[in-house]
């Protein structure tokens, strides 16, 4: 299970506003593998380091710690609520329109916040609604639920109108699924963002260009590759951070291969999500705004694309 931090130079909203947050921090973890309190401390360290955008989800089972960290930092006078940009996610079992608002309200209750800044559909497929987050049949196969993404989107629009979410977006959507939402009759708000896997070995050029044309921000997860956890990662994939091109460019700037990979996506306008609960790496991941890659270096890194997916969404 990954635990993730993310950074960004800005996030556009559907109304044309631009978030001034320089840094995004994203925590993705599960309680049975994350020691109690580790997310709490990581969020506080990230806020102290300058991170202001926190992205979580009910299904990560740590929103109570994220909310506590935010409240503690507000109490210290380090930040105000309006300084924080929080993103939550709608899980697969909650796609029916009548479940969307109650699910978001549950997230807000856990966080002890009045609103989220961004609420996104985590995956375009739906599971059978119920208490089981990963419902399976007697053969161990996922139990899917027929879903109408447009109806689910309308429920998100209602959450925005109610003031429960400032902006709304999607995750793991392809072009066809994005167009389904954007071409929906009576559309009130288009998605402001689309979170997908994106790194030098999987650059997503066509999807990135499509989203640019429609003013949709790409949020790239696994920008440094991933941990080698075979329960959810294709461990046969080549380790990104050992790439000689990234390391050679890093040597020139006195930066790590990780920092070069992050800088590459930032310069392309992609929000990046580097994994770390390590205080040193949290701060190190911040240090990518004091240099720029040349056009030649950007092309060299773009040429590394192998269409390699580290995260296999085998659902």
Annotated binding-site residue? 214: no
**Other Cβ atoms within 10 Å of 247 Cβ, number:** 14
Report in angstroms the alpha-carbon separations of 311 from 10, 201, 230, 235, 307: 25, 12, 10, 10, 12
Listed in order, strand segments (DSSP E) in the chain are 24-26, 53-55, 85-90, 116-121, 165-171, 193-197, 217-221, 271-273
* Angle formed at CA 11 by CA 3 and CA 180, multiple of 5 degrees: 90
Per the listing, tokens 């949290």 go with 282
The rounded distance, in Å, linking the Cα atoms of 246 and 153 is 39
| Residue 134 annotated to the active site | no
What does DSSP say about strands 116-121 and 271-273: parallel, antiparallel, or unpaired? unpaired
Angle (nearest 5°) at CA 178 between 172 and 182: 150
Residue tagged active-site, from 51, 60, 119, 189 = 60
Note whether 155 and 101 are within 8 A (CB).
yes
Buried b / exposed e along 29-44 (16+ C-beta atoms within 10 A):
beeeebeeebbbebbb
∠171-225-304 over CA atoms, to 5°? 100
C-alpha separations of 263 from 42, 73, 81, 89, 255 in Å:
22, 28, 28, 26, 10
Token pair listed for 267? 């310069």
Positions annotated as catalytic residues are 60
Annotated binding-site residue numbers for substrate: 145
């Amino acid at each position: 299970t990954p635990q993730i931090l993310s950074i960004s130079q800005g996030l556009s909203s559907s109304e044309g506003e631009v978030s001034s947050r320089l840094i995004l921090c994203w925590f993705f973890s599960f309680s049975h593998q994350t020691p109690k309190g580790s997310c709490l401390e990581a969020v506080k360290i990230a806020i102290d380091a300058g991170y202001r955008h926190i992205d979580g989800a009910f299904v990560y089972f740590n929103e109570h710690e994220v909310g506590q960290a935010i409240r503690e930092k507000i109490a210290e006078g380090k930040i105000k609520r309006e300084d924080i940009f929080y993103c939550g996610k709608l899980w697969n079992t909650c796609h029916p329109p009548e479940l969307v608002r109650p699910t978001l309200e549950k997230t807000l209750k856990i966080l002890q916040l009045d609103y989220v800044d961004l609420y996104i559909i985590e995956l375009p497929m739906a599971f059978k609604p119920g208490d089981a987050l990963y419902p399976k049949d007697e053969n161990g196969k996922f139990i899917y639920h027929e879903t109408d993404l447009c109806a689910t989107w309308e429920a998100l629009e209602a959450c925005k109108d109610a003031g429960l979410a400032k902006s709304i977006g999607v995750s793991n959507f392809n072009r066809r699924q994005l167009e389904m939402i954007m071409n929906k009759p009576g559309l009130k708000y288009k998605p402001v963002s689309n979170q997908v896997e994106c790194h030098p070995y999987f650059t997503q050029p066509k999807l990135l260009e499509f989203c640019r044309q429609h003013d949709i921000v790409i949020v790239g997860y696994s920008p440094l590759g991933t941990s080698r956890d075979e329960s959810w990662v294709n461990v046969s994939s080549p380790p990104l951070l050992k790439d000689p091109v990234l390391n050679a460019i890093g040597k020139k700037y006195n930066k790590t291969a990780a920092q070069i990979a992050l800088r590459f996506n930032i310069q392309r306008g992609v929000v990046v999500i580097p994994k770390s609960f390590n205080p040193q790496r949290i701060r190190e991941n911040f240090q990518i705004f004091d240099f720029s890659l040349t056009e030649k270096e950007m092309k060299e890194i773009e040429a590394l694309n192998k269409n390699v997916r580290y995260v296999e969404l085998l659902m």
